[in-house]
Amino acid sequence: MDTKCFDVAVIGAGPAGMAVACACAERGLTTAVVAPQPTRPWPQRFGVWGAELRGRLEAESFAEVFSRPFVQLDERRRIELGTEYARLDTQTLHDHLHARARDVVLFDASVTEVVHAPRVSHLHLREGEPIQATVVVDASGAGSPFVQREGRDAPAFQAAYGEVIDVKAHPYRQGEMALMDFRGDEEGVPTFLYAMPLSPTRVFVEETSLVARPAVPYETLQRRLYRRLHRMGLEVESTLDRELCLIPMGGSLPRRSQRIVAFGAAGGMVHPATGYQVARALRLAPVAAEALERGLRTGPLHAARSAYEVIWPRAQLRAWELYRFGMLVLCDLDRVQLRAFMDAFFRLPPATWQGFMQGSLSPTEICSAMWRVFGFATSDLRQTLLAMGTNRRGSRLLLRAAMPGNPL
Ligand SMILES: Cc1cc2nc3c(=O)[nH]c(=O)nc-3n(C[C@H](O)[C@H](O)[C@H](O)COP(=O)(O)OP(=O)(O)OC[C@H]3O[C@@H](n4cnc5c(N)ncnc54)[C@H](O)[C@@H]3O)c2cc1C
């Protein structure tokens, strides 16, 4: 085993950890990744907006590209989104990152503790000798125990139950996929169908709760999915695979003054209102690596600071509070209001709603988008939005957006 001191040790071999480790190694930094079974395939099916990663990933990383994603609010109202949506080929993405990681040293181990000395950090492992590194990147997923956070805001959850099913035929035409299909959603917390045809007789169907607190249980989602498939007249011939999805969203962000650089889901990078994260991690990995390299010339604390400055610049912190406000709103809307909200949201110009979903708008653009959604909203929804903007939780987030870093 290599016992030298690495420039960078990354905890976790998920998409975020591998992307940042590759980017560090490609800049000539000696890099380690520590994770149990670090080459193990990732189980998730990642969906991304095509434009987000076009040109950044090899073409074969896109398993399916849908040119006609849509949102179906009820029997009559269907919104054609007019932009590409893609499913990533998780195995290909995984293999590409591992191929790029040829200079990264992989350790098959779990980190139990990180202890900082003035110029080096020691990663204690459940299995084997400690590893030393000048700077530690924590990409160990949501709920990491190693990251200090700015506050104690509890997350809300996106929950979904999905199956890949074979059917005689499905209703989706060439290029179509249902980003949200609300038809027949008739009780309790709102959920919708997310459906991706994989062939003329195979489809991935997922009953999804966009964001809720507490999480909608899997049994509820599964029951609703089966009812929905029955209503749609889809006869399931066989079930090939299942997906259980629980994504914590909108918890407190990492403290920017700490020595550990939190990245990916560990670093609060999951979009609080949509649950998307992977594209963001892939985009930010080279930027974070460049900042780490620059900062490492002056020591570990500088390296961490300079990484946090590019991952969480002040404008992004303000934007995140606004997205978290969006999450609060979504958690509190009932079924009718959620549909009215989506109807208003997708009336925004495509670049604006896409920017919102990808988390790439500036705080001013988000505020302007929110006002426009308010303007498009029904009067019932407007009253609810006003109440949320002025109640204690909502106004706290809006104030924090004006004064980021303030532990209001
Ligand atoms: C089912 C599902 C579907 C999702 N779909 C999407 C989607 O379509 N689009 C999207 O953008 N996001 C999606 N997400 C959300 C999020 O993007 C993913 O969870 C993503 O995998 C997070 O990447 P990550 O690398 O930050 O963490 P993870 O993928 O959670 O990886 C964490 C890594 O850390 C390791 N680890 C954990 N603890 C330790 C330890 N103590 N020591 C060493 N290693 C450790 C783990 O073994 C793993 O290798 C989905 C999430 C789920 C659960």
Residue 363 has which token pair? 């705080």
- The closest-lying atom of ligand 1 relative to the alpha carbon of residue 17 is 25
Between 234 and 59, name the one with better pLDDT: 234
CA of 12 to the centre of ligand 1 (A): 9
The pLDDT value given to residue 404: 61
CA of 387 to the centre of ligand 1 (A): 35
The proportion of the chain whose per-residue pLDDT surpasses 70, expressed as a percent, equals: 98
CA of 43 to the centre of ligand 1 (A): 9
In the predicted model, is pLDDT for residue 131 greater than 50?
A: yes
**291-301 pLDDT, tens per residue?**
999 999 999 99
- The closest-lying atom of ligand 1 relative to the alpha carbon of residue 109 is 43
**182-209 pLDDT, tens per residue?**
998 678 899 999 999 999 999 999 999 9
> Which of 247, 270, 280, 358 most suits a substitution to test ligand 1, by most atoms within 8 Å of the C-beta?
247
Closest CA to 247 of 13, 3, 14, 81: 14
In the predicted model, is pLDDT for residue 373 greater than 60?
A: yes
In the predicted model, is pLDDT for residue 364 greater than 60?
A: yes
What is the band of 278 on the pLDDT scale with cuts at 50, 70, 90?
A: very high
Establish whether residue 140 lines the binding site of ligand 1, counting it when its CB lies within 6 angstroms of any ligand atom: yes
Quick check: helix, strand or coil at residue 130? coil
What is the band of 1 on the pLDDT scale with cuts at 50, 70, 90?
A: very low
Average pLDDT over residues 51-74: 87
Establish whether residue 194 lines the binding site of ligand 1, counting it when its CB lies within 6 angstroms of any ligand atom: no
Establish whether residue 265 lines the binding site of ligand 1, counting it when its CB lies within 6 angstroms of any ligand atom: yes
In the predicted model, is pLDDT for residue 408 greater than 70?
A: no
Average pLDDT over residues 118-136: 96
* H-run or E-run covering 135: strand 131-138
The pLDDT value given to residue 391: 81
What is the band of 3 on the pLDDT scale with cuts at 50, 70, 90?
A: low
Contact 17, 35 (CB under 8 A): yes
CA of 278 to the centre of ligand 1 (A): 9
Closest CA to 350 of 149, 51, 145: 51
In the predicted model, is pLDDT for residue 51 greater than 50?
A: yes
- The closest-lying atom of ligand 1 relative to the alpha carbon of residue 265 is 26
The pLDDT value given to residue 116: 97
Q: How far apart are CA 103 and CA 64, in angstroms?
A: 31
The pLDDT value given to residue 166: 97
Average pLDDT over residues 157-163: 98
Closest protein CA for atom 33 of ligand 1: 12
CA of 368 to the centre of ligand 1 (A): 32
Distance of CA 77 to the CA centre of its chain: 28
Cα–Cα distances in angstroms (integers) from residue 59 to residues 53, 55, 212, 367, in the given order:
10, 8, 35, 35
The domains found in the chain, sorted by start residue, are 5-41+90-151+254-312 (3.50.50.60), 156-249 (3.30.70), 315-402 (no CATH)
Pairing mode of beta strands 261-262, 131-138: parallel
